[in-house]
Amino acid sequence: MEATILFGISILMSLIVWNKISKKYFWLQFKDLELKKAILPILFLHSFRFAGLSFLVPGVVNAGLNPAWAIPAAFGDFIAAVLAFITLAFTTNTSFRPFLWVFNILGFADLLIAFVDGPRYNILPFLGPAYYIVVIYVPILLLTHLMVFRLLLKNKAVQSH
């Protein structure tokens, strides 16, 4: 079977499994919590996005990984990690919600751009062990970004009533 198909199946399976876990364990716990309490574990999870810097480490990825994909993916993840960590620091501040929006929009956009650009730059043969970041970690990041959007919009609706 072609590697691209196996890669796509792996990502799809990861999305399905993480979605089931998210719905059963995360969303049931988070949906009725105050926004700041619900968001903390998600921000901690995203604080580990510094792992994306491994896209720049020889030996973790193969030498042929196109820097046009690797550099934006690595630094986009790192910036998202820093924004998640800063947002954690603002949980008791009135700037929390704006920081959360910035983190979530930029972090989600970073992942979408990497997904769109990945096939364009033929990253699959060059990911090496970083393959597991893309297949296991990125799907939960995508799903939790969607959860944050949902919580922000749900919370906004509650605040306006």
- What is the pLDDT, as a whole number, of residue 70? 98
pLDDT of residue 161: 44
128-8-108 Cα angle (round to 5): 85
What is the pTM assigned to this prediction?
Answer: 0.91
Residue 33 DSSP one-character state: S
How confident is the chain (161 residues) per 10-residue block, as mean pLDDT? 89 95 83 87 97 96 97 98 97 94 98 95 95 95 95 70 44
What residue type is assigned to position 158 of the chain?
Answer: V
Domain-wise residue ranges, the chain: 3-160
Please give the structure tokens belonging to residue 1. Answer: 């079977």
pLDDT at 109: 98
* Cα gap 146→18, rounded to integer Å: 12
